[in-house]
């Protein structure tokens, strides 16, 4: 039996691929309608589709090539003070304690919940079960970090200026959205499933994933605001300079034009890097 052709691949590898990673990438390259695959230097094994991979299709949507933490990304914002301002151990300890108290990994009671922005509080997802989760988990987990490799970090740049960096995503909403839509998808074998972008089912996934992506952006922004408040309460200074914010996400699918063709580009742990793009297209303000 002749195997189906494999999609074109470009890679930026620093070491040979392991067998399991190589097999997972080969499976993705043979999936229907996958036109191109890009493999990043830090590619590594994950559920269904490796992290560190981008895949382009003409009309098919592969939720597994985005992953569960839809919209997961980074936000870096400088403060208007130097890092030396908080270097004294006693002050640094108070700030770390304050950050841990105001920005938990998980929030369990509504009494401590951070209010959702109005456009998110009135958002409507495609299924009543997802909507119920949006009103419960979405509220409780807003402005929280989560687990795994997510973090809030204070850094110093080359000039000694203090920066805040946040890595977090759509929390429990993203996996729920992925799983709901995967159950409605068509199997292509090997565990992969797809949706057609031109159908109501595909449009519903794109809408829900778009909301999760917006939630993740606001999640990081509100985490940053809580960190700013912690510094102001602790040392009486340290305002974020939002005009210099750098932000991007690395788990999403969106329509892009490449070689004159419109393609659905799926990114899973693979941020975009257009010419002259500093981190990402989104601009934030305080």
Of 15, 157, 142, residue with least CA distance to 82: 157
Element (H, E) at 39: strand 34-44
Alpha-helical regions (H) of 122-273: 128-140, 173-182, 200-235
Element (H, E) at 196: strand 192-196
Domain ranges of the chain: 8-268
DSSP state of 240: B
Fold of 8-268: tRNA-splicing ligase RtcB (3.90.1860)
Percent of residues, the chain, with pLDDT higher than 90:
86
**Which residues face 44 on adjacent strands?**
51
> Using 50, 70 and 90 to split pLDDT, how confident is the model at 274?
confident
Q: Any residues with CB less than 8 A from the CB of 105 and at least 6 apart, and which?
A: 144, 145, 146, 147
CB 247 within 8 A of CB 217: yes
**CA–CA dist 123, 95 (Å, integer):** 34
What is residue 264's predicted lDDT score, i.e. its pLDDT? 98
**Which pLDDT tens digit goes with each residue over 116-131?**
999 999 999 999 999 9
CB 62 within 8 A of CB 55: yes
**Which pLDDT tens digit goes with each residue over 218-256?**
999 999 999 999 999 999 999 999 999 999 999 999 999
> Using 50, 70 and 90 to split pLDDT, how confident is the model at 283?
very low
């Amino acid at each position: 039996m002749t195997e189906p052709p494999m999609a074109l691949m470009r890679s930026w590898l620093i070491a040979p691929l392991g067998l399991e990673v190589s097999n997972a990438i080969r499976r993705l390259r043979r999936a229907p309608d996958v036109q191109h695959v890009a493999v990043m230097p830090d590619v590594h094994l994950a559920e269904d589709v490796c992290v560190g991979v981008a895949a382009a299709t003409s009309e098919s949507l592969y939720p597994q090539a985005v992953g569960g933490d839809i919209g997961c990304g980074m936000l870096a914002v400088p403060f208007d003070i130097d890092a030396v301002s908080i270097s004294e151990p006693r002050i640094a300890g108070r700030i770390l304690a304050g950050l841990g108290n105001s920005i938990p990994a998980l929030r369990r009671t509504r009494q401590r919940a951070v209010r959702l922005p109005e456009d998110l509080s009135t958002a409507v997802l495609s299924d009543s079960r997802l909507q119920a989760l949006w009103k419960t988990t979405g509220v409780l987990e807003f402005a929280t970090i989560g687990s795994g490799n997510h973090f809030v970090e204070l850094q110093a740049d080359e000039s000694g200026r203090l920066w805040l960096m946040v890595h977090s995503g759509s929390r429990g909403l993203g996996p729920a959205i992925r799983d709901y839509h995967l159950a409605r998808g068509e199997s292509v074998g090997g565990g992969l499933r797809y949706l057609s972008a031109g159908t109501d089912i595909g449009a519903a996934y794109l809408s829900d994933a778009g909301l999760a992506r917006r939630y993740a952006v606001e999640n990081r922004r509100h985490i940053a605001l809580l960190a700013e408040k912690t510094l102001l309460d602790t040392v009486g200074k340290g305002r974020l300079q939002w005009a210099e914010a750098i932000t991007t996400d690395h788990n999403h699918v969106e329509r892009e034009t490449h070689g004159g063709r419109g393609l659905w580009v799926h990114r899973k742990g693979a941020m975009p890097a257009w010419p002259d793009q500093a981190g990402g297209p989104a601009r934030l303000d305080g």
